[in-house]
């Protein structure tokens, strides 16, 4: 009877081990296929997992990243945000600047989720990083273009206002004065853009 129970238990253990292995393989396949960088740390902020997207984003191989303090790989700002996320019950979302292995900085959209263990203690963090440098560069270019256009319009508008003011000091026919008032009002409205 003991042998039968033992055989049954061995079958159940083998089945459960196969289920766990299959689940682990599915999780690895999912994490490996995600283009965003995913990094997991322990409670002391040492890297315990990094997916291929993370290595592509930062330039660090998985072997180089594993076991390193997170600030050595993705910078002090990300470490500070991870520590800040400890106090939040929900994942933290935001943006930061992070260094690549070659030292160049890039803009990232971050999601940081504390991993809670027994007694609600933080046992680590999972962070996803998405490179938003192209969008940020486009936004900076757009802002620079708008600032430049605004500056370029200010000079002629100021000149128009000055000449309209000077012309208003002279004798003008009523029709010319109405036209001058339209010019002054338009110049003033462009000043506030």
Cβ contact 101:58 at 8 Å:
yes
Tell me what pLDDT residue 67 has: 95
Tell me what pLDDT residue 153 has: 81
Choose among 155, 84, 175: nearest CA to 122.
Answer: 84
Number of residues in the chain:
193
Instruction: Compute CA distances 108 → 7, 105, 144, whole Å.
Output: 53, 10, 21
Tell me what pLDDT residue 193 has: 60
Structure tokens given for 114:
């504390």
Residues 108, 128: Cα–Cα separation, whole Å: 9
Tell me what pLDDT residue 127 has: 93
Block means of pLDDT (10 residues each) for the chain, 193 residues, are 89 92 84 84 92 92 93 89 82 91 93 85 89 92 89 84 89 90 86 67
DSSP H or E stretch at residue 159 = helix 133-168
């Amino acid at each position: 009877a003991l042998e039968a129970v033992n055989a049954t238990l061995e079958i159940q253990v083998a089945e459960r081990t196969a289920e766990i292995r299959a689940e682990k393989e599915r999780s690895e396949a999912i994490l490996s296929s995600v283009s965003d960088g995913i990094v997991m740390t322990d409670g002391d902020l040492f890297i315990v997992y990094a997916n291929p997207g993370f290595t592509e984003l930062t330039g660090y191989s998985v072997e180089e990243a594993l076991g390193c303090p997170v600030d050595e790989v993705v910078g002090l700002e990300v470490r500070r945000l991870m520590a800040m996320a400890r106090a939040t019950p929900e994942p933290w979302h935001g943006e930061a600047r992070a260094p690549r292995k070659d030292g160049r900085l890039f803009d990232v959209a971050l999601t940081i989720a504390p991993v809670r263990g027994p007694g609600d203690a933080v046992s680590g963090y999972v962070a996803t990083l998405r490179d938003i440098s192209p969008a940020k560069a486009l936004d900076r270019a757009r802002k620079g273009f708008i600032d430049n256009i605004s500056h370029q319009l200010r000079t002629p508008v100021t000149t128009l206002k000055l000449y309209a003011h000077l012309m208003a000091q002279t004798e003008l026919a009523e029709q010319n004065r109405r036209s001058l008032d339209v010019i002054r009002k338009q110049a003033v409205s462009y000043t506030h853009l």
